[in-house]
Amino acid sequence: MASYDPLDIWRRPERSGVGPKPKHSRAAIVAAAIEIADKDGMAAVSIRRVAADIGAGAASLYRYLNSHDELVELMVDTVGGEYDLGPSAEPPRAQLLNLARQGRTIMHRHPWLAPLLLTRPSLGPNSLAYLERALAALVTADMPSAAKLQTVAMLTAISSAFVQNELAQSAGPGTIDDGAKERLQHLSAAFQSGKYPHLAGALGGHLEQQSPDETFMGVIENYLAGAGLPVSVGFG
């Protein structure tokens, strides 16, 4: 079996001209898949389930897609279109903070998205438009081009990891949240033992005094400062 090529979906027409007039569209198929994933999780998304939801036969969807992997690629790129990528006169740091805020909101809107951004980022038009906009924010920053690209990539990675942790903490009974509670109890006991004073000082009670929004922005701001975008004249 040939290996999956994430570029193939973007290289060919939306649908082959062979066969009867199409009854559906790639956009409608992807919209149905996103709705399923938002409601029931990524594991529930299958060609058969999506076909049933749009009133089609599973085989007919292969006129639009070659595989489930292509469907996922389209899903990731489609939700990437939810960013507001309009121009801004703000300093580079402020622009990246705004993109990070938007990304967190989108990942909460689509809880299946965060892990995919870490493991298989899309190469579609919306994803490339986001990358272009983020790099445009850094056009005046005194950084090599490669460093700018890495800064943007790490911004996405850190945001994705943060959101995954948020979602894990807010999961319902019987899910990963139970493990999170056990870890917190273990840390609490460790702090009280007095064996880890520096760790206790760094973590104990600090995050509880902040809202999730404040914590997120603090994480992103610390990263940007370390990447060469501190709060200073010209960076905001």
Measured CA to CA in angstroms, residue 203 lies from 98, 184, 188, 223 at distances of: 26, 11, 10, 18
pTM of the model: 0.82
Which residues, 6+ apart, have CB-to-CB distance to 212 below 8 Å?
Answer: 166
Which residues, 6+ apart, have CB-to-CB distance to 213 below 8 Å?
Answer: none
| Residue-level pLDDT at 173 | 43
Summarize pLDDT for 27-74 with one digit per residue, the tens.
999 999 999 999 999 999 999 999 999 999 999 898 899 999 999 999
pLDDT category at 235 given cuts 50, 70, 90 is very low
What percent of the chain stands above pLDDT 90? 59
Annotate 194-212 with b (16+ C-beta within 10 A) or e (fewer). Answer: eeeeeebeeeeeeeeeeee
Summarize pLDDT for 100-155 with one digit per residue, the tens.
999 999 999 999 999 999 888 899 999 999 999 999 999 999 999 999 999 999 99
Give the lowest-confidence range in 145-149, 160-164, 174-178, 223-227. 174-178
What percent of the chain stands above pLDDT 70? 81
Contact status, residue 50 vs residue 33, Cβ threshold 8 Å: yes
The residue written with tokens 């997120």 in the block is 216
DSSP state of 5: -
Q: Is the pLDDT of residue 176 over 60?
A: no
